[in-house]
Structure 1
Amino acid sequence: MNSRVLVLNQDFSPLMVCSVERAFILVYLKKSELVRPANGHKLHSVTQTYPMPSVIRLNRYVNAPYKGVNLTRQNIFKRDNNECQYCGTKKELTIDHVIPRARGGKDTWTNLATACKKCNAKKGDYTPDEAGMPLRKKPYKPSYSIFLRDHLNGQGSEWDAFLSDQGH
């Protein structure tokens, strides 16, 4: 049972993702309510059957600090769908500085893109325009909600109504 459950704050804002086991315990102990069950899946005890949670909402508001997405290599790959932003391949991926470091480019969400080794070498210390290699998608800083929706759910569209926000 490795499914994940979206946990909403009392105001229905996305808070985190947890295991089915943790979510079930929160519902069972009446610390949260089941908002959306997992499509027809059930949890069984010796004497009872319960709907498996897909989305739960906490009964009390939790004041959570700002949730951002950490700038890591893995998160850049996730944001870019594990494909080169120049040619689209999914092989031999690395990170490219859109504006090269040698020319003052920083390690930021908007300056880093997934690139294959071949395209990264071909682009070298040029900008995409100078190298004649346009980006397929402009790098952006993902919001927490968008990141959850696009990269953690694996639940199909069961979470979409709760994570459709802010856009890129």
Structure 2
Amino acid sequence: MRTLVLNAGYEPLTVVSFKRAMVLVMNDKASVIERVENDPVIAGRRRFDRPVVILLTRYVRVPAARRQPVTRRGVLRRDEHRCGYCGKAASTIDHVMPRSRGGGDSWENLVACCLRCNNAKSDRTPQEMGWELHRTPRAPHGGTWVVRGVERGDPVWERYLALAA
């Protein structure tokens, strides 16, 4: 079981294990905002709610340049595993401007791509192929990208992650 941690200003920070969440709550560094009903945790003589979302009691400064690193998995996730050229299921990524022509590994130059389109495009640009991208590639944004580990999260977290979007 995992717990979403909110900063004192209610912005999502991270996802921690149940054990780490309990340590924060027991040491009065966080309070339980959302809990599992009728499933308390007993530690010594104290009784605690099983946390799903906790709020830190003190504000933690987060660096402004918290940019998501470019990964194959991230590009596929951003594009919802759909080919940027034909819209079919994608399993590879493609450089819009090929690396052989100076294209880099950036969010703006990578798209999810099916194997068929990737092989057909080879080291050409979409314009040379007469193709158009379904959507313009850009860096991901929103609460699910700011906080690691929320892609397999609890449905209760949704309203807190919406605040970060």
TM-score by length of 1: 0.78
Superposed CA offset, 1:10-52 (max 9, x none) = 11122111112211221122110112224x4735448876433
**What secondary structure sits across from 1:102 in the alignment?**
helix
Matches within 5 A, 1:111-122: 111-122=109-120
Gaps of 5+ in 1: none
CA distance in 2 between counterparts of 1:62 and 1:145 reads 17
**What secondary structure sits across from 1:164 in the alignment?**
helix
CA distance in 2 between counterparts of 1:151 and 1:119 reads 31
Q: Is residue 2:78 matched to residue 1:71?
A: no
Residue identity (%): 37
**Of 15, 18, 24, which aligns to 1:17?**
15
Q: How many pairs does the alignment contain?
A: 162
CA distance in 2 between counterparts of 1:49 and 1:146 reads 32
**One-letter code aligned to 2:69:** N
**Of 21, 42, 54, which aligns to 2:39?**
42
Partner of 2:124: 126
TM-score by length of 2: 0.79
Q: How far has the Cα of 1:99 moved from its partner? A: 1.6
Cα distance change of structure 1 residues 41 and 141 upon mapping to structure 2, 3 Å threshold: farther
CA distance in 1 between counterparts of 2:20 and 2:101 reads 48
Residue 149 of structure 1 contacts residue 160 of structure 1 at CA under 8 Å; is this kept in 2? no
Matches within 5 A, 1:19-168: 19-38=17-36, 40=37, 42-45=39-42, 50-66=48-64, 67-90=66-89, 93-143=91-141, 145-147=143-145, 148=147, 152-156=151-155, 158-165=156-163
**One-letter code aligned to 1:34:** V
Off by >4 Å, runs of 4+ in structure 1: 46-50
Q: How far has the Cα of 1:98 moved from its partner? A: 1.2
